[in-house]
Amino acid sequence: MRYRRILLKLSGEALMGRLSYGIDPEVVQGIAREIAEIVAGGVQTAIVVGGGNIFRGVKGAAAGMDRATADYIGMLATVMNAMTLQDALEQIGVATRVQTAISMQEVAEPYIRRRAMRHLEKGRVVIFAAGSGNPFFTTDTTAALRAAEIDAEVVFKATKVDGVYDADPKLNPTARRFESLNYNHVLRHGLQVMDGTAITLCQENNIPIVVFDLSVAGNICRAVQGEPIGTIVGGYCEIK
C-alpha cells in the first residue's frame, strides 16, 4: 500500500446504494470488505461519515427549520451511519471504534485525539461521527480537520462520481474530468470537491485530496495503492 495513515470520507448517500432513503446493508457490507482489505495491508484507517441519506441539515434549514437545530439533527444521523458501518466491520473481524464529537457515552467514545491516534496505531479503524460537534460546519470540513489532527497523509473522498469535473457531467455530456488540480484552482473556480473551508484546511496542512467513485468495486483499495482512478487535489499538482 502507498499510504501509512489515511482518512476516508464517506458520504451518507453512498450508503443508500440504489435506495431512495436510508441504508442498504449490502452496500455497507461491500464497503466494509474493502476497508478490511486495506487494514489487512497495514494501512491505519480513519473514517468520517456523512448523514445525508437520513437527514441533511441544510435541507432542513431550507424548509424552515432553525439552522443550528437542523445541523444537530444531521450530526445525529451521522452517528447512526457510523454505528452501522462499525457493525459491518466487526462482523468480519475488523476492530473498530466510533468516536463522537457530541457526547453519547452509552453508544460511542467521545472524540479524544490522542485516544484516536492510539487506536490507529493498534490497527483499529476509527470512525468519527457527529461531525465537528458544531453547527454550520459540514462533514467535509470535519474530514479535513480530523485528517490534520491525526496526521493523515491523505483524504480520500468517496463519492458517486469518478472525479472532479468542470461542469456537472449529468447535465453536460462534454464536461471535462480533471486528473489533477491544485487547491487554488478549486477555490477560485468553485469546483465541487469539498466546501471552501475544507479545501483551505487541507491546503494549510498540505494534505492532498483524492476524489473517486465509490460505486466501483475495489476502488478503495485501488485509491490507497495510488492508482490514478479519480482526481487528486494538492499544492503541487498540475491542472490536467
User: Is 84 annotated as belonging to a binding site?
Assistant: no
User: Is 156 annotated as belonging to a binding site?
Assistant: no
Asked if 8 and 46 count as a contact pair (C-beta separation under 8 A), the reply is yes
User: Is 3 annotated as belonging to a binding site?
Assistant: no
Q: Report d(CA 104, CA 95) in Å as an integer.
A: 20
User: Is 159 annotated as belonging to a binding site?
Assistant: yes
User: Is 11 annotated as belonging to a binding site?
Assistant: yes
- Candidates 168, 180, 175, 240; CA nearest to 211 is 180
User: Is 41 annotated as belonging to a binding site?
Assistant: no
* Upper half-sphere CA count for residue 4 (Cβ side, 13 Å): 7
User: Is 157 annotated as belonging to a binding site?
Assistant: no
User: Is 53 annotated as belonging to a binding site?
Assistant: no
User: Is 52 annotated as belonging to a binding site?
Assistant: yes
User: Is 137 annotated as belonging to a binding site?
Assistant: yes
Beta-bridge partners for 47: 8, 127
User: Is 120 annotated as belonging to a binding site?
Assistant: no
User: Is 103 annotated as belonging to a binding site?
Assistant: no
User: Is 196 annotated as belonging to a binding site?
Assistant: no
Residue 132 main-chain phi, psi, to 5 deg? -90, -5
User: Is 215 annotated as belonging to a binding site?
Assistant: no
Residue partners of 73: CB distance under 8 A and separation at least 6: 55, 57, 60
Burial class (CB in 10 A: 0-12, 13-18, 19+), 154: buried
Which whole-number Å values give the CA distances from 9 to 12, 46, 155, 159, in the listed order? 10, 9, 7, 9
User: Is 56 annotated as belonging to a binding site?
Assistant: yes
Burial class (CB in 10 A: 0-12, 13-18, 19+), 217: exposed
Q: Return binding residues.
A: 9-12, 51-52, 56, 71, 132-139, 159, 165, 168
Q: Return binding residues for UMP.
A: 51, 71, 132-139
Q: Return binding residues for ATP.
A: 9-12, 52, 56, 159, 165, 168
